[in-house]
Amino acid sequence: MSAPEAAGPRAEYTVVGCGAIGGTLAFHLADAGHTVHVVDTDTAHVAALRERGLTLRGPRGERTVRVAATTPDALDHTPRRVLLCVKAQATAAAADWLAPRLAPDGWVVSLQNGLNEGLIAERVGAHRTVGAFVNLFADVVAPGVVQDGGAGALVVGELDGSPSERVAALVADLAAWGPARATGNVSGYLWSKLAFGTMLTATALVDAPMARVIDVHRPLMYALAAEVEAVATAEGHGLEPFDAYDPAAYLPGAPRDLRERATDTLVAWLAGQAKDRSGIWRDIAVRHRPVEVHHHYRPVREAAARHGVPVPLLGRLLTLLAEVESGERPMAPANLTDLYDPATPRK
């Protein structure tokens, strides 16, 4: 449980990792008048932020705000309210870097994909770690420029589920972005997104819109989500719905008509987003950098092994993704066939 904290009308935030999530939130916080320090390892990105500011492109056109920006080695302030927005595979290094620099009464909120709160807590202390779930559609499209691809859900909560003043203050400040809210069940949202995330990961095996791939390959998507939800259930997590994803529809044994209706809603929602391909696809096809998905699902597979829950599709999905990532296998529709029926793999 956190120590109480009174937040004024304007606060100071350090955003570590100014990618899609960090850049979007940093922009809206700065635009609302908060003081924002950005820390990022991308020197070109930092240089652009210093020279031209942080630009957000979206439905309302292009807007730019000023933010302080630095690389980690040149940090010039003591972080107190930290939004950790780095890729999952960079979490340990970022938390190790933060631990000796964080203010004594400071805290770190994990605004990332995956299950990173425990790792952060090991480095900076559980009492200084805040959980969060975020589902933003955005991409960094140039140094200093973030493309807003559509709004999603954002919830924040203490690791033990208790209410706190720091969470209330953070939610109030993040209202500058959109409908952020507090929750007593962060883990329920994170596990729901991991289930939904298997669908998005599968769409990165082909070069096609997410909505279309999920719609055409419904049985595969149902089976993938069900595997992760079975693990979450075995772990004792109560899954939470978010945006257009209803986890109850994808639990093992859920009625078929419920799944179909839920997927109709999900597909229609995805089709309405300006961003039609996943960040995973973009990392492989555009940015040519390692994806973070393997780190997301490592604890899921470990939990599955502990509980004896079979996750064969998840394992095959990650194998195929690694092959696409390395260039050994091209992005192609046949990958989805191979995923569902691996008897005759094709490359």
Low-confidence stretches of the chain (pLDDT < 70) are 1-9, 342-347
Contact 333, 346 (CB under 8 A): no
Q: Is 148 within 8 Å of 34 (Cβ atoms)?
A: no
Q: What is the pLDDT of residue 149?
A: 73
Q: Residue 9: what pLDDT?
A: 63
Q: Distance (Å, rounded) from C-alpha 247 to C-alpha 172?
A: 27
**Which three-class secondary structure state does DSSP give residue 1?**
coil
What one-character-per-residue DSSP string does 258-280 give?
Answer: HHHHHHHHHHHHHHTSS--S-HH
| Residue 190: per-residue pLDDT | 97
pLDDT 10s digits, 104-153:
999 999 999 999 999 999 999 999 999 999 988 888 999 999 998 777 89
Name the β-bridge partners of 163: none
What confidence score (pLDDT) does residue 342 get?
61
pLDDT at 64: 97
pLDDT of residue 273: 86
Distance CA 201, CA 210 (A): 9
Distance between alpha carbon 18 and the CA centroid of its chain, in Å? Answer: 13
Residues whose CB is less than 8 angstroms from the CB of residue 102 and which lie 6 or more positions away in sequence, other chains included: 78, 79, 80, 82, 108, 124, 128
For residue 75, CA distances in Å to 15, 70, 168 come to 12, 6, 28
| Kind plus residue range of the DSSP H or E element containing 54 | strand 54-58
Direct distance between the N- and C-terminal alpha carbons of the chain, in angstroms, rounded to an integer? 51
